[in-house]
Amino acid sequence: MADDVRRWSDELARDPASLVFLPLGETLRRQGQLDLALKIAVRGLERHSHNPDAHDLLARIAVDRGELQRAFDEWDMVLRLTPEHVGALKGMAFVRFQQGNSPDAEQYLQRAAERNGGGDAEVTAALANMRAAVRGARDAGRGPRENGAHSDSRTSPPAPRIPLSTSRALFADILGEHEQTALLLDDQGFVLAGIYVDGDGNDVGDEVGAELSGVTDAARRATRHLDIGEWKAIVLETEVAVVTMAPSTGDGLLVVAASKATPLGLVRRVLDRCLERARQWLEAGR
């Protein structure tokens, strides 16, 4: 096993885009080296942001670190990318159960069982165990909590109109398995949809959105004073990335970023497709 870790580490050093970060991160997780595993997974996710296995790995590491909601969000992303992913369904069931939300947990397990045609003994057993636990809790006069982990409605956030995962993965199929990312911002620079993961694995969409949306004010001012009509797009090339921005429905802003290696024309096409997706999504009331 130590040889494997060394071999994979060497390969990753030679080729940072290699997918060996998946077995390497998983092995480190199993060895309890969670910080290192997290670092490996996050670096991998940077280059393979739409790889479901990478999100799955990060979710498992997050569970081991006790970061249940982060794990849930990652598995939710897996499910958006691969709706049949049984591992993600089981993971989400586990998180929801741990959070005291047995009805949701049961639903996820049920879906996992259906995906496998009832042939997954682990899922069947988990479903039976959970139902038994729920019955026991009811018998003891402690009914399962409804609609989330909190029974106190004062502290329970209202159910969002859209699941977080739906908005986060809005552009996933357009972006594909490439080093691209897309954010839809509202007129205040707040993220409406999309995701932007930085080198440390944090979703920095809010920060990126706030910074880049400021550019549009300068763009409006310039086009107005120069009398060249409304601005349609901004392309910003940096040392490491190509960023395109365009106004979206309702004074919003769509930002598509790609690695420097991505041809400019391709980024523009992706921007156009994301704009159309955002328009449909917004007009459908999200």
Partner 1 sequence: MSSPFAAVLASLTRQRGVRASLVVDENDGIVVDSNLQIGQDGDRVAALAASLYRKARLSAGAAHLGTATFMQLEAERGRICAAGRNDLVLVVVADPAANIGMIRVEMIKAAGGLP
Of 222-261, binders to partner 1 (CB under 8 A) are 222-223, 225-241, 243, 257
In the complex, the smallest distance separating the C-beta of residue 250 from partner 1, rounded to whole angstroms, is: 19
* Residue 270 binding partner 1, by CB under 8 A: no
Nearest CB to partner 1, comparing residues 78 and 242:
242
In the complex, the smallest distance separating the C-beta of residue 179 from partner 1, rounded to whole angstroms, is: 13
Q: Return the residue matching tokens 């080093």.
A: 179
In the complex, the smallest distance separating the C-beta of residue 267 from partner 1, rounded to whole angstroms, is: 12
Interface residue with partner 1, options 208, 253, 256, 278 (CB under 8 A): 208
User: Which of 159, 161, 138, 139 shows the shortest CA–CA distance to 147?
Assistant: 159
Distance between CA atoms of residues 202 and 37, nearest Å: 15
CB 206 within 8 A of CB 190: yes
Nearest CB to partner 1, comparing residues 150 and 178:
178
Nearest CB to partner 1, comparing residues 161 and 225:
225
Contact string (CB under 8 A) for partner 1, positions 159-198, x = contact: ---------------------------------------x
Q: Which stretch binds partner 1 (CB under 8 A): 38-46, 93-101, 170-178, 199-207?
A: 199-207
Provide the angle, in degrees to the nearest 10, between the axes of the packed helices 68-81 and 52-64: 160
Nearest CB to partner 1, comparing residues 150 and 268:
268
C-alpha dist (Å) from residue 140 to 84, 92, 103, 133, 256: 36, 26, 17, 11, 53
Interface residue with partner 1, options 186, 215, 262, 282 (CB under 8 A): 215
Nearest CB to partner 1, comparing residues 134 and 235:
235
Got the DSSP string for 259-280? ETTS-HHHHHHHHHHHHHHHHH
C-alpha dist (Å) from residue 43 to 94, 155, 250: 26, 35, 35
Q: Return the residue matching tokens 């159960």.
A: 97
CA 107 to chain centre: 21
Nearest CB to partner 1, comparing residues 101 and 213:
213
In the complex, the smallest distance separating the C-beta of residue 264 from partner 1, rounded to whole angstroms, is: 8
Q: Return the residue matching tokens 């249940």.
A: 68
Residues in contact with partner 1, counted by CB under 8 A, come to a total of: 34
Nearest CB to partner 1, comparing residues 136 and 199:
199
DSSP label of 176: -
Among positive and negative, which fits the CA dihedral 63, 65, 68, 72? negative
In the complex, the smallest distance separating the C-beta of residue 214 from partner 1, rounded to whole angstroms, is: 6
Residues that bind partner 1 (CB under 8 A): 198-199, 204, 207-208, 211-212, 214-215, 217-219, 221-223, 225-241, 243, 257
